[in-house]
A and B are shown apart, each in its own frame.
Chain A
Amino acid sequence: MTFPALTFALLAAVILSAAAAVMMFRNLVHSALVLAVALSGLAALYLQLHAQFVGFAQLLVYVGAVAILIVFAILLTRGNEPSDQVIFSPGRWVGAGIALAVFGVLARVILTSRLLAGSAPPAPAAAVKEIGQRMMERYVLPLEVMGLLLTVALIGAVVLALRERPSG
């Protein structure tokens, strides 16, 4: 087995088992930490696909911010719930069946498509300089809108989670 195929197989095993563990674990903090493992595996896969900036952005944003945010939210919403409660909702088999059906449709489309058979083209150059140039020239509007969106989301999240002051 060639080295890229071996790394892909290892990373795929790590990502899928971590994602399955997120779904199966009873302890919420364990789920969040295993989610960080899955997201790091995905970042390594982006590095293999020659998208270096996206790989490091994934590590910084998803593992460094979103996963930590999830851990904080778990800490802030802890109750005195007994630990023997059911973790799956009553419609669990219907949900699992739907997920399986969605995967079946996707796999059928992927495996029976003739467009996808082909060898890999030479590695593209996704230098940060070119990404920045595109963002400032052609994609400047989405960039500004995303800045606005992040500001609004930040303020909104703080307002939503703010401690209510007693009136009067």
Chain B
Amino acid sequence: MPPLPCYLLLAAMLFAIGLAAALTRRNAIIVLIGIELMLNAANLNFIAFWRYGPNPETLRGVLFVIFAIGVAAAEAAVGLALIIALHKHFKTTHVDQVDSMRG
């Protein structure tokens, strides 16, 4: 079984890649995908600490991740609906072209 720091480093790399995708891409959908990657990296951290930590029979890590997956799904649905509504109005999904708040 690989040691715990291996899983944590993998999660950190995944988080950094998701952060880079959210910060550097122009398309709003790729920004949302980056956010989902960051959430998945945090979930991996939780499961790794649950597996290697004391008292895994309390199932805290597993339950936290189950709720986190549910919340992330709700957030992805609302975020994508927002992007669709923005596209109807601005006719573009590039984040640097959505720059006015007048309706």
Contacts and interface: CB of A to CB of B under 8 A. Distances in A.
Contacts of A87: 25-27
Dominant SS among interface residues on chain A: helix
Given A42-B44, A77-B84, A77-B93, A23 B25 contact: yes
Interface in A50-104: 50-51, 53-54, 57-58, 61-62, 65-66, 69-70, 72-74, 76-77, 79, 81, 86-92, 94-96, 98-100, 102-103
Contacts of B37: 19, 22, 35, 38
Interface residues of B, number: 73
Given A69-B76, A153-B74, A157-B81, A22 B33 contact: yes
A41 to B, nearest CB: 10
Contacts of B73: 61-62, 65-66, 150
A111 to B, nearest CB: 7
Interface residues on A, range: 35 or more
Q: Is the interface of B mostly helix, strand, loop or mixed?
A: helix
A104 B9 CA distance: 10
Contacts of A118: 3-4, 52
Given A76-B87, A86-B26, A89-B24, A66 B17 contact: no
Contacts of A22: 17, 21, 30, 33-34, 37
Nearest to B96: A89
B70 A53 contact: no
Contacts of B25: 23, 87-89
Given A28-B29, A42-B44, A12 B10 contact: yes
5 contacts: A54-B65, A62-B72, A99-B19, A120-B3, A150-B74
